């Protein structure tokens, strides 16, 4: 189980770290770990904890100051988890990540192996973005911990992703509006469901319901069920462990990604773009074909063979992403040509396809 908890759950109304809440969550984490399940906590709260410790009323906007506040708060945060978990006979293992740690395939595997070893030692991994050195991750919601949690869940073959929030699930309207009802089960994350997101940013946190649904979409594509539930309810993890109906449950998609495809879809760094014609776009979308040189109209960016590239149609819509068999300079020379002409143009033809379907993921 991968549990993500947000800043608004972990801090009190004054912005200080809520240690009683951390103790409650730690008890639930230990109960999960006691069943033998690998247990990972993706925890926000470093900036919020630092703000409380430094008596700041608002989240800093200056990057250097924001990083400094995160560094101050991170020490308090991990100490709080260690103290709470020690009461249950376990230890906290701090794992600080940036997006670059998961973009490279070798780094992705190293993180996965480290999490497995932490579990084998009987500790609980406490994962957070390394806010004291990260840059883009701090300034945009793309790097928020909801998406990080989905990517961490993607490291595991089978996992339940639990996103604990200050609301108790997804509602069919504004959560505080009369007549709005919580949705107990979502079978498919379509545009209608995504349109229900109601974001209300605070001075402490970055993520909102839109980011949680985006994370749920990524995790369900990887074959993981997701629960968005109430983080301020005592015993919430114990209730989920029992199978009680709590929060909103998102069922995994029918098309589950595994292994290398999962990394390509969720974590890999994109190094270039291939623009394809209508015929190639249709072959990829409808028939799951490999991408051949003849369907490529334009190459954007400079990259080596083996780089992950996005494949887009003429309108700029992303169709897929995958590992490119040729460097950009060679793709530019063979674009629009049939495969039998590749040897004559390049002097070699190690692959018939530019991106093979086995190394490609269609965008959901």
Binding-site residues, in ranges, read 4, 44, 131, 145, 165-166
d(CA 122, CA 344): 59
d(CA 113, CA 238): 27
Question: 89: closest CA among 39, 17, 33, 10?
Answer: 33
Phi, psi of 306 (to 5 degrees): 90, -5
Q: What beta strand segments (E) does the chain contain?
A: 2-5, 40-43, 92-97, 124-129, 160-165, 185-186, 225-230, 248-250, 270-276, 296-300, 308-312, 318-323, 360-362
d(CA 132, CA 71): 5
Structure letter (DSSP) for residue 94 = E
- Burial-class residue 257 by CB neighbours within 10 Å (0-12, 13-18, 19+): buried
Which residues does the annotation place in the binding site for substrate?
44, 131, 145
d(CA 118, CA 134): 24
**Are 345 and 337 contacting, i.e. CB atoms less than 8 angstroms apart?**
yes
Which residues does the annotation place in the binding site for ATP?
4, 165-166
Structure letter (DSSP) for residue 35 = T
């Amino acid at each position: 189980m991968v549990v993500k908890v947000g800043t608004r759950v972990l801090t009190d109304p004054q912005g200080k770290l809520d240690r009683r809440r951390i103790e409650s969550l730690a008890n639930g984490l230990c109960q999960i770990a006691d069943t033998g399940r690998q247990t990972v906590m993706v925890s926000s709260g470093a900036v919020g904890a630092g703000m409380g410790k430094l008596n700041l009323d608002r989240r800093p906007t200056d990057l250097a100051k924001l990083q400094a506040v995160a560094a101050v708060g991170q020490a308090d945060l991990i100490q709080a988890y260690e103290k709470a978990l020690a009461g249950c006979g376990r230890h906290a293992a701090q794992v600080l990540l940036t997006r670059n740690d998961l973009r490279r395939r070798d780094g992705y595997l190293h993180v996965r192996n480290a999490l497995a070893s932490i579990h084998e030692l009987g500790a609980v991994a406490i994962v957070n973005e390394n806010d004291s050195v990260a840059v883009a991750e701090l300034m945009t919601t793309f790097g928020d911990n909801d998406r990080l949690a989905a990517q961490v869940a993607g490291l595991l073959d089978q996992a339940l992703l639990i996103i604990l929030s200050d609301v108790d699930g997804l509602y069919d309207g504004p959560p505080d509006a009369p007549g709005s009802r919580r949705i107990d089960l979502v079978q498919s994350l379509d545009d209608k469901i995504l349109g229900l997101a109601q974001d209300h940013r605070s001075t402490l946190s970055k993520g909102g319901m839109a980011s949680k649904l985006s994370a749920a979409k990524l995790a369900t594509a990887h074959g993981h069920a997701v629960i968005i539930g109430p983080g301020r309810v005592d015993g919430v993890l114990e209730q989920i462990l029992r199978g009680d109906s709590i929060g909103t449950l998102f069922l995994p998609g029918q098309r589950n990604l595994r292994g290398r495809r999962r990394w390509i879809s969720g974590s890999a760094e994109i190094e270039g773009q291939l623009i394809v014609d209508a015929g190639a776009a249709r072959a990829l979308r409808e028939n799951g074909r490999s991408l051949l040189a003849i369907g490529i109209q334009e190459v954007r960016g400079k990259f080596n063979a083996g780089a992950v590239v996005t494949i887009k149609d003429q309108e700029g819509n992303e169709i897929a992403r995958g590992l490119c068999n040729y460097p950009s300079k060679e793709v530019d020379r063979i674009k629009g040509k049939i495969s039998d002409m590749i040897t004559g143009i390049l002097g070699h033809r190690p692959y018939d396809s530019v991106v093979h379907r086995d190394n490609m993921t269609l965008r959901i």
